[in-house]
Homo-oligomer: A and B are copies of this chain.
Amino acid sequence: MFTRIDHVGIAVRDLEKSIVWYQTMFGLTVVAQEINEEQSVHEAMLLVDDGPQGGSHVQLLEPTRQDSPVGKYLARHGEGMHHIAYGVDDVEAAIATMATSGIRVLDRKPRHGAMNSRIAFMHPKDTGGVLTELVQAVKH
């Protein structure tokens, strides 16, 4: 069902500082950066490795508002791992499969994700405490 680990989302307080850190310390490369107004985050995708099904990335997330989900996460937990995202070929089909299995999908219609992907989040209470995202990447 899943083609890869598309990314691991990491909540950070200062995106620019964290980007420089990941570039310098881990040698990762920024492949996209954008503000996602809907999710109230300023985000950057850093490539770990590319593959035939799409890449695996670290996604750094700085909230644009303190009362956003990532803002609240930072206030509660501090910086750290926020979610895991799996690549799928067909996000609508994956949403339907998850919903049929009894998992609450927070986005019944896919939302806009990084790099023009189409994404959906599932309720972490239904996925063992792990906020989990489905990602259909743009084919390249």
Contacts and interface: CB of A to CB of B under 8 A. Distances in A.
Given A56-B56, A84-B8, A49 B2 contact: yes
Interface in A20-62: 21, 24-28, 48-49, 51, 53, 56
Contact of A4 (B3, B48, B101, B129): B48
Nearest to A83: B81
A51 B48 CA distance: 13
A53 B123 CA distance: 32
Interface of A: 1-5, 8, 10, 12, 18, 21, 24-28, 48-49, 51, 53, 56, 77-81, 83-84, 86, 98, 101, 103, 124, 127-130
Given A5-B8, A25-B101, A49-B53, 16 more contacts: A2-B26, A2-B49, A4-B49, A10-B130, A24-B101, A26-B86, A48-B86, A51-B51, A56-B56, A78-B129, A79-B128, A79-B129, A80-B130, A81-B81, A81-B83, A81-B130
